[in-house]
Structure 1
Amino acid sequence: MKIPLDYLCVKSGLLCNRCQSLVDSGQVDSFEINVMKILLDLEDTQFKELKDSTYYKAIKVNNLLILLVSSGPSMTIQKWIKVAKVLQEKLGMKVRIIEKTSNIKSSAVQLLSPARVLGVNTVWLPDGSVQYVIRVSRTERRLLPADALVLESALSKIHDTRVKIRVE
């Protein structure tokens, strides 16, 4: 698996100057080192298919961990679900793995699954900024993987813009 830090640094837990500067600058959070280590161990033992995948970022919001990845040709959704279950057991928190994309609707569909996304509205605010409103059916509110505010915060961090989830 391709990761932003050196393999040796992650495996040993001792960071070289380059890796330490990435952690110090905030590009890589310190908890991500443990996540990367678990992913590399899984690649060596259970999931050889992870070799062609790329890890971009882990976002932690309350008790939810979201991994942004891009899949290799041999990784399927079912294999990612198994990886997420192993990570959940080892980290003791809920884990969602989503494909990195610049499309907000695509990210929302992956993150909010099994709840369906009715649509994504773009709201232009008076100060010139943009806010996205993701619409979810009221009947599917209970299917959301976490609280709507937690999911809003996660999507906002993923796309560096304001995101609201509206249940209608």
Structure 2
Amino acid sequence: MKIPLDYLCVKSGLLCNRCQSLVDSGEVDSFEVKVMQALLELEETQFKELKDSTYYKAIKVNDLLILLVGSGPSMTIQKWIKVAKALQDKLHMKVRIVEKTNNIKNSAIQLLSPARVLGVNTVWLPDGSVQYVIRVSKSERKLLPADSNILESALSKIHDTRVKIRVE
């Protein structure tokens, strides 16, 4: 798996100057080193298909860990689900894997699954900024993988913009 840090640094847990500066600058969070270690272990032992995939970022919101990844040609949604389950066992927290995309609707569909996204509205605020409102059916509220506030925070971090989830 392609990762932003050196393989040797991640496997050993001792970071070289370049990797340490990435962590110190905040480009890579310190908990992400453990996540990358777990992913590399899974690649070696169970999931050889991870070799062609790319790790971009891990976002931790409360007890939910969201991984932004790019899929290799041999990775399917079912394999990513198995990887997420294996990571949950290793890291002892809920894990969701989201394909990195600039489209908020696609990210929301992946993150909120199995709940269906009815649509995404763009709200232009008076200060000139944009807020996205993701609409979910009231009957599917119980299917959300986490509290809507946690999911809003995660989507906001992924896309670096304000996101609201409205249950209607």
TM-score, length of structure 2 as denominator length:
0.99
Q: Does 1:120 align with 2:123?
A: no
State how far apart, in whole Å, the 2-side matches of 1:92 and 1:72 are.
Answer: 26
What is the CA distance between 1:12 and its match in structure 2? 0.4
Q: Does 1:155 align with 2:155?
A: yes
3-state SS of 1:29 partner: coil
State how far apart, in whole Å, the 2-side matches of 1:102 and 1:145 are.
Answer: 22
State how far apart, in whole Å, the 2-side matches of 1:87 and 1:78 are.
Answer: 14
The equivalences for 1:69-148 within 5 A come to 69-148=69-148
What are the superposed Cα offsets for residues 111-134 of structure 1, whole Å, 9 maximum, x if unpaired? Answer: 000000000000000000000000
Output the amino acid matched with 2:59. Answer: I
Unaligned runs of 5+ in 1: none
Q: Runs of 4 or more off by more than 6 Å in structure 1? A: none
Unaligned runs of 5+ in 2: none
TM-score, length of structure 1 as denominator length:
0.99
The equivalences for 1:12-27 within 5 A come to 12-27=12-27
Q: Which residue of 2 aligns with 1:43?
A: 43
Q: Which residue of 2 aligns with 1:5?
A: 5
3-state SS of 2:118 partner: strand
What is the CA distance between 1:102 and its match in structure 2? 0.3
What is the CA distance between 1:50 and its match in structure 2? 0.3
The percentage of aligned residue pairs carrying the same residue is 87
How many residue pairs get aligned? The number is 168
State how far apart, in whole Å, the 1-side matches of 2:81 and 2:119 are.
Answer: 25
Output the amino acid matched with 1:151. Answer: L
What are the superposed Cα offsets for residues 7-56 of structure 1, whole Å, 9 maximum, x if unpaired? Answer: 00000000011100000010100000000001001111110000000000
State how far apart, in whole Å, the 1-side matches of 2:133 and 2:76 are.
Answer: 29
State how far apart, in whole Å, the 1-side matches of 2:108 and 2:116 are.
Answer: 9
Output the amino acid matched with 2:62. Answer: N
C-alpha root-mean-square deviation of aligned residues, in Å?
0.4
What are the superposed Cα offsets for residues 71-99 of structure 1, whole Å, 9 maximum, x if unpaired? Answer: 00001111111110011011111000010
3-state SS of 1:132 partner: strand
State how far apart, in whole Å, the 2-side matches of 1:38 and 1:57 are.
Answer: 14
3-state SS of 1:134 partner: strand
Output the amino acid matched with 2:57. Answer: K
